[in-house]
Each structure stands twice: as C-alpha cells, then as structure tokens.
Amino acid sequence: MQTVICIGMAGSGKTTFMQRLNSHLHAEKNPPYVINLDPATLKVPFGCHIDIRDSIKYKKVMENYDLGPNGAIVTSLNLFSTKIDQVMKIVEKRSDTFKNCIIDTPGQIECFVWSASGSIITESFASQYPTVIAYIVDTPRNQSPSTFMSNMLYACSILYKTKLPMVLVFNKNDVVKADFAIDWMKDFEVFQEAILKNKELQGETGMGSGYMGSLVNSMSLMLEEFYSQLDCVQVSSATGAGFDDFTKAVDNKVKEYNEFYKKEREETLKRKELEEEKMKKESMTKLMKDLKIKNKKDVNKEAHSDSSADVISDLEEGENDGILDPDSEQEENDDIGAAAEREYTFSEDRELGEVNDTVPDLQAKYQEALEKTAKDVSSETAENIVKYIRG
C-alpha cells in the first residue's frame, strides 16, 4: 500500500480533489482506502473508511474546552492521534486489499502541518508505507509573483518538515492554465520579467519597494534547487483532467521513496535509537553515582585488589609459621600470671564484679617486685624510685 496525504491552503480545492481522485481510481478498478482527518467539515462528498468525525465531535470539543475554530481542530487532531496505534492496526488489516490510501487533511493547513498530531500521523504512515505529499495549489490565486513565491515557500517548509517526497499539484486548471507558474519555476529570467510587469501595473502598492523586489529575487534563486526536486502536474478537479499524470507522478515518487527516503529514514531511526541508548546509559550512570552504587567492573577490580592483598598478608603472616620463639612461652606465662593476679583484684562476694578495695596489699606486692629489680641499678636511683612510689 502507498499513501497520499493531500495538503494545501484553505480554498485550494483539497476536498474536491479527493473526490475526483477517488472516482478516478474507482474507474480504473483500483479503489483506494480513504481517510478523512478534517473534523470541521459538514459534508464529505466521498465515502470514507475512517472518518475522524465518527470518534470526535468538533462542536463538543469547542464547548468543552472553550476553544475557537482553529484551536478545536488542533485539539480534535490531538485526541485522534492518541489512538493512532488502533488506526494503524485497522489500516494494516486492509493493506493487502488496497493499493492506495488517500488522506484528506483540514483546510487550515497550519493546524495539521505544524501541530504535534500532524507529525505523529504523518510519521506513523511513513514508517510503514511509502508516503507521498500532494501539495494542492490554487492556480488562479497564484498569478501574482509575490503570492506564488509565498505559496512555494510554504511548500518548501512542508517538504523540509515532513522530509517526504512531494508532488506539486496545480488545481483548477479548467479556470486558469498553470503554464505561467511552470515557466516561472523553470526559468529565472521569466520570473524576473513577471516581477517587473507586476511592478509597472501596481506601482508602489505592489512590489515597488526595493526591499521586496530584492527579497523575491533572492528567494527565487534559492528555490531553484527546490523546484528541481519536484514533480509538477496540472489537474482539474471539476473535469477530471490531468489525474493520469498525477497517478504516474505518485508512482515515480514511491520509487524515489524506496530508493532514497526509506534508507534515510532507517538511518535516522537507528541514530535516534543510539542516542536514546546513550542517554539511558548516561542517566543510569548518574543515578548509580547519586545512589553510590558501584559498577560491576569497579566491584571486580576491588575484589581483585582485595584478594591480592589477602594473599600478601597471608604470606607475611605465614613467614614465621613453624618457628619457635623462645620468648613466647615466657610471655604466655607472664600473661597467665598477670591474669592470676588480676583475679585477686575482684572480690568474690560482690555480684557486680567491682574492683577490690584491698589496694594496700596490691601496692605492697608491686613495691616488693620493684625493690628486687632495683638491686641491679645504682642505689641512688633505686632510692629515688622508692621514694617516688611511697610519696
């Protein structure tokens, strides 16, 4: 299935174009899958498989949210886009039955193109099916060079916004032929002559100012590359002329989508996934730092360093294993003796184990021991020590 999204200024004839395209495809025994996304229209002159008006009431949205016409259209599209996954499932079930899916958008072009819901709906279809933008131009209104330039800038912005292949459709060909517009797009000098002619006709009220003239000239030069990437067709929604050319242009753009746009979109999606993974890792790292949680690598490093330290300490402690220290038994006996002496410092009849009050006996023992060791020292030093202890 290939998708055609019809976009254009208010009054350009999008709904009539949709009706004629629908009947043209039925005449070729290739009926399309039709979707209406205009919640404010009172009557749709063609049968729809999915109609936004069935699920969202435009007037109720205005009353409940206290909105004006444009705000209610944007809100209705936002409400509809919340269920876009269900819409895509319905379309997917019928994708094998229909070759073409044509979508009508609201007359207020900014409500669809520049809203979040418009991007969601467009991306949803473009991610699953080859999608082409049909930009409808009101040919009689674009006979002025300034109006034509404004319309082309709008088309360029939509192409840049959607990043999808576009077919420029000059509608109402039965009223005014679009040969002049195609000549302006192909030849810069012809467009310059039209600017000068318009200046002579309208004088200072038109494009007489030097600023406007230079601006339009520079814009026309800038749009030459934009024109080269477009397929232009002339159609008449009233008579049905030119719709064979339109279907051929759509088929060419579908091939272009598969060759260029699809690869670019896949690369963009991969880039977004990588960026999201990177952001997730960075946020997780920050969270772990905030919570003071260590990474597995850091834990393994610390474990390895701890194990090596344990081995070294074990070796150091084990260096003297099996070697008898001659002073060890004496130290143990001294410890035992000290423990035995400490036992006498606690009274047996006291439950709380307080220190015994027989301090003079303990003091006499220490003094006796000190006097024995003081024999090897000079008598004066020993006497001074004894006096110091007694005092």
Q: Is residue 378 part of a domain?
A: no
Q: Is residue 192 part of a domain?
A: no
Q: Does residue 300 surpass a pLDDT of 80?
A: no
**What pLDDT score does 167 carry?**
95
Tell me what the mean pLDDT of segment 110-126 comes to.
90
pLDDT per position as a tens digit, 359-387: 455 566 666 766 666 555 555 555 665 56
Tell me what the mean pLDDT of segment 120-127 comes to.
91
The amino acid at 326: P
Q: Is residue 214 part of a domain?
A: no
Portion of the chain with pLDDT greater than 90, in percent: 40
Portion of the chain with pLDDT greater than 70, in percent: 72
Tokens of 40: 């404010």
What is the three-state SS of the chain?
CEEEEEEECCCCCHHHHHHHHHHHHHHCCCCCEEEECCCCCCCCCCCCCEEHHHHCCHHHHHHHHCCCHHHHHHHHHHHHHCCHHHHHHHHHHCCCCCCEEEEECCCCHHHHHCCHHHHHHHHHHHCCCCEEEEEEEECHHHCCHHHHHHHHHHHHHHHHHHCCCEEEEEECCCCCCCHHHHHHHHCHHHHHHHHHHHHHHHHHHCCCCHHHHHHHHHHHHHCHHHHHCCEEEECCCCCCCCHHHHHHHHHHHHHHHHHHHHHHHHHHHHHHHHHHHHHHHHHHHHHHHHCCCCCHHHHHHHHHHHHHHHHHHHHHHHCCCCCCCHHHHHHHHHHHHHHHHHHCCECCCCCCCCECCCHHHHHHHHHHHHHHHHHHCCHHHHHHHHHHHHC
pLDDT per position as a tens digit, 139-158: 999 998 888 988 998 998 99
pLDDT per position as a tens digit, 72-92: 999 999 999 999 999 999 999
**What pLDDT score does 241 carry?**
93
**What pLDDT score does 213 carry?**
67
**What pLDDT score does 120 carry?**
92
Number of domains the chain contains: 1
**What pLDDT score does 352 carry?**
44
Closest CA to 138 of 171, 166, 179: 171
Q: Is residue 356 part of a domain?
A: no
CATH number for the domain harbouring residue 172: 3.40.50.300
Q: Is residue 14 part of a domain?
A: yes
**Domain limits at 171?**
2-187+226-261
Q: Is residue 150 part of a domain?
A: yes
Q: Is residue 96 part of a domain?
A: yes
Average pLDDT, the chain: 79
In angstroms, rounded to a whole number, what is the distance separating the alpha carbons of residues 272 and 278? 10
In angstroms, rounded to a whole number, what is the distance separating the alpha carbons of residues 222 and 240? 34
**What pLDDT score does 258 carry?**
87
Q: Does residue 305 surpass a pLDDT of 60?
A: no
Lowest pLDDT segment from 194-203, 235-244, 267-276, 304-313: 304-313
Is 215 or 173 the better-scoring residue by pLDDT? 173
Tell me what the mean pLDDT of segment 23-46 comes to.
93
Q: Is residue 338 part of a domain?
A: no
pLDDT band at 243 (very low <50, low <70, confident <90, very high): very high
